[in-house]
Amino acid sequence: MIWKNTSDSASHTVTPDKPFKDLYSGDFGSNGVIPPGKTYQFLFTQEAQIKYHCDPHPWMRGEIDVVHGALTS
């Protein structure tokens, strides 16, 4: 999953409400801020439900629901 700070003059973070660790990718969350034009990406390899927010702007919130999909031919 990729977060991109696009047309904004402010920097933001992707910060989990509660710490989350993926067995493969490790700790989830941007280390520090994502400046305008930059991205943060994280590979989820397990099912998870994660609520997250932006540290400087706590009213900016999101939720991720990672589900195990099946490939259909």
Q: Is 12 in the site for Cu ion (CB under 5 A)?
A: yes
Residues 6+ apart with CB under 8 A from 18: 51
Distance CA 71, CA 41 (A): 23
Rule CB under 5 A: say whether 57 interacts with Cu ion: yes
Supply the minimum distance, in Å, between the C-beta of residue 61 and Cu ion.
10
Only one of the segments 25-33, 43-51, 52-60, 65-73 lies at the binding site for Cu ion (rule: CB under 5 A); that segment is 52-60
CB of 68 to Cu ion, least distance (A): 30
14 binds Cu ion, rule: CB under 5 A? no
- Binding of Cu ion at residue 61 (CB under 5 A)? no
Give the count of alpha carbons within 13 A of 27, CB side only: 9
Long-range own/partner contacts, residues 28-31 (CB < 8 A, 24 or more apart):
30/3
